[in-house]
């Protein structure tokens, strides 16, 4: 769920906890980086950015690969933050994409300038801009990628999942500058930086960088100190737990970095969100409600680290193939987080967390789970993915006495780095020796069910996941 509103019994303020998570949604266009790749320079000048494109060739339309919708409004984010400065060029929304074109119908000029007023908004399955309270800004490196189209109409036909299409475009060559000093990338300051196909964040402005054993932090200087302390204390233990169970993650030996932005003590708000990239977890906190330590925030921030940290394995060591297979990585990361948090804190209520997965999946699986993203129901990937993972874990327990990590470990060894739906489902059949399980999972993925509880109950029954039926509802024991 992007921003579930948790009822808070003690206070009247709404508690917003965005678990917005972009991970594994990494289209890998096959187009090689050529001399024709656009050259982009991004320069921070105080509270705004200047973004200059220099295109190496003519195109009638350039479309932005990252054209996600804002999670709250379901409106495109870029037209609200970017203003075209070059005369005769307009930006507009066509289909799933923000595009630019010439007003005269000819090719887009080779040089186009934008003025950007960065804003921190939660995006649907895409990496958001991070704003720091001191004016620093962190941008996803691949936010500037574009592809060419023959006409504005052609943009209407491009599907939202770019993994499924061949694009005339690829990574831009981006040079990052900050008028006030060096930029921060991979935990290090540099006077100038050029990125191409790296997936990370570049931070323009001041932050508190703390190198550490097993984890480095890049933290907004005004973040309430207890949050930073908690992250530095807790995150390395989660990482070690996963390492013990699954081995080192595939994405290299660099020390992981947690980058945390603080959006200020907004009244009547308690908000946390973020996402994960190779070797980097980004988080953003906001609201009066997180100024002082509270058990609920503590648990949510731990949950967040558990889930996002799990993506270094399930999401990066292996990724999914298509966006409608996000249940593999999101639900899988959720169950990893539940098991990790329980092992690190005996008081953690794993059953309650898993019950909410079952409940949400029950609500959302009336319609095809695989297509949930297109409906804006990304929560289905987490909830139903966790339900499927629970069944797989049950099958593993029946077979070997093992758990979710034992089911997962062999699946992380994929030569192509992709854990496909087929590979996941085949493993379920191999471990359970019961092909009917796969049939039920596929039914929820592709068709949904009039009564999802009945299907979930059947899955749990055959895999030994303890539950009872209460008024037609699956209640975990």
Taking the complex as a whole, the smallest distance from the CB of residue 311 to Zn ion amounts, in Å, to: 6
Choices 26-34, 186-194, 327-335, 373-381; region in contact with Zn ion by CB under 5 A: 327-335
Q: Where are the alpha helices (DSSP H) in 25-120?
A: 78-81
Half-sphere exposure of 382 (CA within 13 A, CB side): 26
Considering only the stretches 137-145, 149-157, 211-219, 326-334, report the one whose residues sit in contact with Zn ion under the rule CB under 5 A.
326-334
Residue 301, both tokens:
């921030």
Stretch that binds Zn ion, among 15-23, 43-51, 216-224, 254-262 (CB under 5 A): 15-23
Interaction residues for Zn ion, span 19-38 (CB under 5 A): 21, 23
Q: Provide the minimum distance between the beta carbon of 24 and Zn ion in the complex, in angstroms, as a whole number.
A: 8
Backbone torsion region of residue 127, taken as left when φ is above 0, otherwise alpha when ψ lies between -120 and 50, otherwise beta: beta
Return the range that interacts with Zn ion (CB under 5 A); candidates 14-22, 266-274, 287-295, 360-368: 14-22
For Zn ion, the closer of residues 275 and 432 by Cβ is 275
Nearest distance from C-beta of residue 281 to Zn ion, angstroms: 10
Q: Minimal distance in Å, beta carbon 452 to Zn ion?
A: 22
Tell me whether residue 68 or residue 146 sits nearer to Zn ion (CB atom). Answer: 68
Give the span between the Cα atoms of 387 and 230, in whole angstroms.
Answer: 30
Report 331-360 residues binding Zn ion (CB under 5 A): 333
Per-residue CA distances from 340 to 21, 258, 304, 333, 440 (Å): 18, 18, 12, 10, 28
Closer residue to Zn ion in complex, CB, 155/314: 314
Least Å from the CB of residue 296 to Zn ion: 20
Q: Looking at beta carbons only, is 276 or 437 nearer to Zn ion?
A: 276
C-alpha separations of 319 from 167, 255, 403 in Å: 20, 20, 21
Both tokens of residue 430? 């191999």
Only one of the segments 16-24, 28-36, 68-76, 222-230 lies at the binding site for Zn ion (rule: CB under 5 A); that segment is 16-24
In the complex, minimum distance from the CB of residue 22 to Zn ion, in angstroms, rounded to a whole number:
8
Cβ–Cβ < 8 Å for 202, 277: no
Distances from the Cα of 127 to the Cαs of 25, 123, 140, in angstroms?
A: 9, 7, 6
Using an 8 Å Cβ cutoff, are 332 and 408 in contact? Answer: yes
CB atoms within 10 A of CB 19: 22
Q: Minimum CB separation from Zn ion for residue 27, in Å?
A: 17
Interface residues with Zn ion (CB under 5 A) are: 21, 23, 330, 333
């Amino acid at each position: 769920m992007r921003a579930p509103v948790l009822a808070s019994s003690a206070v009247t303020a709404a508690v917003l906890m965005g678990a917005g998570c972009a991970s594994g949604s990494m289209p890998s266009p096959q187009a090689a980086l050529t001399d024709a790749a656009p050259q982009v320079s991004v320069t921070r000048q105080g509270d705004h950015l200047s973004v200059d494109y220099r295109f190496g060739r003519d195109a009638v339309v350039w479309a932005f690969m990252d054209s996600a919708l804002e999670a709250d409004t379901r409106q495109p984010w870029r037209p609200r933050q970017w203003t075209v400065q070059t005369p005769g060029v307009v930006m507009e929304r066509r289909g799933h994409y923000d595009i630019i074109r010439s007003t005269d119908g000819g090719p887009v000029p080779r040089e186009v300038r934008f003025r950007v007023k960065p804003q921190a908004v939660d995006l649907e399955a895409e990496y958001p801009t991070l704003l720091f309270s001191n004016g620093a800004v962190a941008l996803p490196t691949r936010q500037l990628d574009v592809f060419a189209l023959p006409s504005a109409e052609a943009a209407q036909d491009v599907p939202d999942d770019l993994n499924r299409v061949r694009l005339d475009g690829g990574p831009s060559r981006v040079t990052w500058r900050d008028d006030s000093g060096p930029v921060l990338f991979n935990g290090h300051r540099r006077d100038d930086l050029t990125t191409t196909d790296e997936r990370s964040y570049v931070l323009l402005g001041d932050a508190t960088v703390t190198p550490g054993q097993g984890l480095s932090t890049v933290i907004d200087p005004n973040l309430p100190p207890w949050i930073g302390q908690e992250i530095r204390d807790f995150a390395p233990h989660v990482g070690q737990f996963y390492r013990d169970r699954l081995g080192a993650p595939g994405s290299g030996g660099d020390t992981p970095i947690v980058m945390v932005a603080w959006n200020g003590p907004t009244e009547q708000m308690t908000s946390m969100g973020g996402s994960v990239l190779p070797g980097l977890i980004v988080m953003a906190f906001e609201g009066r409600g997180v100024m002082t330590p509270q058990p609920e925030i503590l648990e949510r921030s731990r949950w967040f680290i558990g889930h996002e940290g799990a993506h270094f394995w399930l999401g990066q060591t292996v990724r999914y193939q298509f966006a409608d297979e996000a249940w593999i990585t999101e639900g899988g990361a959720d169950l990893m987080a539940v098991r990790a948090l329980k092992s690190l804190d005996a008081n953690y209520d794993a059953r309650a967390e898993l019950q909410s997965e079952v409940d949400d999946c029950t609500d959302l699986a009336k319609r095809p789970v695989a297509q949930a993203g297109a409906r804006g129901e990304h929560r289905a990937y987490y909830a139903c993915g966790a339900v499927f993972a629970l069944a797989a874990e049950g099958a593993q327990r029946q077979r070997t006495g093992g758990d979710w990590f034992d089911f997962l470990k062999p699946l992380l060894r994929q030569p192509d780095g992709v854990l496909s739906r087929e590979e996941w489902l085949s493993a379920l059949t191999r471990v359970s020796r019961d092909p009917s399980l796969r049939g039920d999972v596929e039914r929820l993925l592709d068709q949904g069910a009039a009564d999802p509880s009945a299907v979930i109950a059947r899955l749990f029954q055959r895999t030994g996941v303890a539950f009872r039926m209460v008024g037609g509802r699956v209640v975990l024991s």
